[in-house]
Amino acid sequence: MEKNLREVFSADDDYKINLIQEVLTEHGIDSVTLDQKGSALLVGEIKLYVDQRDEKKAREIIATHNI
Protein backbone atom coordinates (compact mmCIF):
# COMPACT_ATOMS: atom_id res chain seq x y z
CA MET A 1 0.00 0.00 0.00
CA GLU A 2 1.25 3.46 -0.79
CA LYS A 3 2.69 5.46 2.09
CA ASN A 4 0.65 8.56 1.36
CA LEU A 5 -2.75 6.86 1.79
CA ARG A 6 -4.70 7.28 5.03
CA GLU A 7 -7.66 5.24 6.24
CA VAL A 8 -10.67 7.49 6.76
CA PHE A 9 -13.58 5.06 7.00
CA SER A 10 -14.39 1.38 7.36
CA ALA A 11 -17.61 -0.64 7.27
CA ASP A 12 -18.91 -4.18 7.10
CA ASP A 13 -21.05 -3.65 4.01
CA ASP A 14 -20.49 -2.37 0.50
CA TYR A 15 -23.44 0.01 0.66
CA LYS A 16 -21.86 2.34 3.22
CA ILE A 17 -18.48 2.29 1.51
CA ASN A 18 -20.00 3.05 -1.90
CA LEU A 19 -22.09 5.87 -0.46
CA ILE A 20 -19.12 7.54 1.24
CA GLN A 21 -16.93 6.99 -1.81
CA GLU A 22 -19.51 8.70 -4.03
CA VAL A 23 -19.83 11.67 -1.66
CA LEU A 24 -16.05 12.08 -1.56
CA THR A 25 -15.88 11.93 -5.36
CA GLU A 26 -18.52 14.67 -5.57
CA HIS A 27 -16.18 16.80 -3.45
CA GLY A 28 -13.19 16.09 -5.70
CA ILE A 29 -11.54 13.54 -3.42
CA ASP A 30 -10.29 10.29 -4.94
CA SER A 31 -10.45 7.20 -2.75
CA VAL A 32 -9.33 3.59 -2.76
CA THR A 33 -10.94 0.60 -1.04
CA LEU A 34 -9.34 -2.44 0.52
CA ASP A 35 -11.76 -5.32 0.98
CA GLN A 36 -10.66 -7.61 3.81
CA LYS A 37 -13.65 -9.93 3.59
CA GLY A 38 -12.83 -13.60 3.43
CA SER A 39 -14.20 -14.98 0.17
CA ALA A 40 -15.65 -18.11 1.77
CA LEU A 41 -17.44 -16.51 4.71
CA LEU A 42 -17.93 -12.94 3.47
CA VAL A 43 -17.00 -11.46 6.82
CA GLY A 44 -14.60 -8.65 7.53
CA GLU A 45 -14.22 -4.96 6.97
CA ILE A 46 -13.88 -2.85 3.89
CA LYS A 47 -11.54 0.08 4.42
CA LEU A 48 -11.59 3.38 2.55
CA TYR A 49 -8.36 5.31 1.98
CA VAL A 50 -7.61 8.79 0.65
CA ASP A 51 -4.41 10.69 -0.10
CA GLN A 52 -2.93 12.19 3.06
CA ARG A 53 -3.44 15.70 1.61
CA ASP A 54 -7.21 15.05 1.50
CA GLU A 55 -7.52 13.29 4.87
CA LYS A 56 -8.77 16.25 6.93
CA LYS A 57 -11.34 17.32 4.34
CA ALA A 58 -12.51 13.72 3.84
CA ARG A 59 -13.00 13.18 7.58
CA GLU A 60 -15.00 16.41 7.83
CA ILE A 61 -17.24 15.38 4.92
CA ILE A 62 -17.76 11.89 6.36
CA ALA A 63 -18.61 13.32 9.79
CA THR A 64 -21.38 15.48 8.31
CA HIS A 65 -23.08 12.43 6.75
CA ASN A 66 -23.58 10.45 10.00
CA ILE A 67 -22.95 7.04 8.47
The domain that holds 48 is classified in CATH as 3.30.70.790
Q: Determine if residue 12 is left, alpha or beta; phi over 0 gives left, psi from -120 to 50 gives alpha, anything else beta.
A: alpha
**Bridge partners for 13 per DSSP:** none
Query: pLDDT tens digits, residue range 5-44?
Result: 999 999 988 899 999 999 999 999 999 998 766 555 556 7
Question: Which residue segment(s) compose the domain that 37 sits in?
Answer: 5-64
- What integer pLDDT is reported at residue 24 of this predicted model? 98
Q: pTM to 2 decimals?
A: 0.83
The number of distinct structural domains making up the chain is 1
